[in-house]
Amino acid sequence: MKKSLVLAMAMALGVSATAFAANPFSDLPAGHWAYASVAKLATAGVIDGYPDGTFKGDKTMTRYEMAQIVAKALAKGAINSDDKLIGEFADELDNLGVRVSKLEKQADNVKITGNFRLHYANTKIKNNYDDDRTEYKGNFRSRLFFTGEIDDNWKYVGMLQNDQVIAQNGMDDNKTGSSVTKFQRAYLEGKFGDNLTITGGRFGTFIADGNVYDDRVDAIKAEIGKNIKFTAEYGKMANKDVVCNCKEHMDDMESLADKYYRLGLGGKFGNFSLETNYVKAQSVKAMDMGYTDDKIWTIGADYTAGAFNAGLTYLKGDNEVIEKRDYSQNGWVAKLGYGEAKSDKPGSFGIYTKYYDQGASTVISHTMSGAYDYFGAQGFKGYMVGANCAIFKNMVAALEYYDLKGKEDNEDKARTIWTELMVTF
* 355-359: average pLDDT: 97
The answer, yes or no, to whether residue 390 has pLDDT greater than 90, is yes
Instruction: Report the CATH number at residue 278.
Output: 2.40.160.10
Q: Name the band, by pLDDT with cuts 50, 70 and 90, for residue 170.
A: low
- The Cα 162–Cα 138 span in angstroms is 14
Higher pLDDT, 251 or 64: 64
344 shares a domain with 208: yes
The answer, yes or no, to whether residue 134 has pLDDT greater than 50, is yes
pLDDT, tens digit (0-9, with 9 covering 90-100), for 318-327? 999 999 999 9
Q: Name the band, by pLDDT with cuts 50, 70 and 90, for residue 204.
A: very high
339-342 LR contacts (CB < 8 Å, sep 24+): 339/307, 340/307, 340/388, 341/388, 341/389, 341/390, 341/396, 341/398, 342/390
311 shares a domain with 261: yes
What single-letter DSSP state applies at residue 41?
A: H
* The predicted structure's pLDDT at residue 250: 41
Residue 224 CA to chain centroid, in angstroms?
A: 19
122 shares a domain with 64: no
Neighbours of 387 (CB within 10 A): 17
- 110 contacts 85 by C-beta, under 8 angstroms: no
- Amino acid symbol at 59: K
Of 100, 81, 25, residue with least CA distance to 57: 25
Tell which of 51, 85, 106 closes a domain. 106
Tell which of 57, 89, 106 closes a domain. 106
155 shares a domain with 30: no
Q: How many CA atoms lie within 13 A of 7 on its CB side?
A: 8
117 shares a domain with 98: no
- 277 contacts 263 by C-beta, under 8 angstroms: yes
* 284-289: average pLDDT: 86
The answer, yes or no, to whether residue 392 has pLDDT greater than 90, is yes
116 shares a domain with 51: no
Lowest-confidence region among 56-70, 234-248, 328-342 = 234-248
- The Cα 412–Cα 382 span in angstroms is 12
Q: How many domains does the chain contain in total?
A: 2
The answer, yes or no, to whether residue 9 has pLDDT greater than 70, is no
- Boundaries of domain holding 34: 3-106
Tell which of 52, 75, 106 closes a domain. 106
The answer, yes or no, to whether residue 278 has pLDDT greater than 50, is yes
- 96 contacts 73 by C-beta, under 8 angstroms: no
* The predicted structure's pLDDT at residue 288: 85
Over pLDDT 70: what percentage of the chain?
A: 74
- The Cα 54–Cα 58 span in angstroms is 11
Q: Name the band, by pLDDT with cuts 50, 70 and 90, for residue 175.
A: low
150-157 LR contacts (CB < 8 Å, sep 24+): 150/188, 151/102, 152/101, 152/102, 153/190, 153/191, 153/192, 154/188, 154/189, 154/190, 154/191, 155/188, 155/189, 155/190, 156/186, 156/187, 156/188, 156/189, 157/185, 157/186, 157/187, 157/188, 157/189, 157/203
- DSSP string covering 114-167: EEEEEEEEEEEEE-TT---EEEEEEEEEEEEEEEEE-SSSEEEEEEEEEEEEEE
pTM of the model: 0.71
- The Cα 179–Cα 202 span in angstroms is 22
223 shares a domain with 339: yes
The answer, yes or no, to whether residue 100 has pLDDT greater than 70, is no
- DSSP string covering 263-318: EEEEEEETTEEEEEEEEEEEEE-STT-TTEEEEEEEEEEEEEETTEEEEEEEEEEE
pLDDT, tens digit (0-9, with 9 covering 90-100), for 216-258? 999 999 999 988 999 999 999 976 544 344 444 444 445 678 8
* The predicted structure's pLDDT at residue 109: 74
The answer, yes or no, to whether residue 145 has pLDDT greater than 90, is yes
175 shares a domain with 73: no
68 shares a domain with 130: no
Of 36, 47, 32, residue with least CA distance to 14: 36
Lowest-confidence region among 58-72, 79-93, 401-415 = 79-93
Q: Name the band, by pLDDT with cuts 50, 70 and 90, for residue 80.
A: low
Q: Name the band, by pLDDT with cuts 50, 70 and 90, for residue 339.
A: very high
- 257 contacts 364 by C-beta, under 8 angstroms: yes
Lowest-confidence region among 240-249, 330-339, 346-355, 365-374 = 240-249
Lowest-confidence region among 38-47, 217-226, 278-287, 334-343 = 38-47
Mean pLDDT of the chain: 82
- The Cα 92–Cα 96 span in angstroms is 6
122 shares a domain with 61: no
97 shares a domain with 130: no
220 shares a domain with 361: yes
The answer, yes or no, to whether residue 188 has pLDDT greater than 60, is yes
Higher pLDDT, 53 or 314: 314
Q: Which residues contact 283 (CB under 8 A, 6 or more apart)?
A: 257, 258, 291, 292, 293
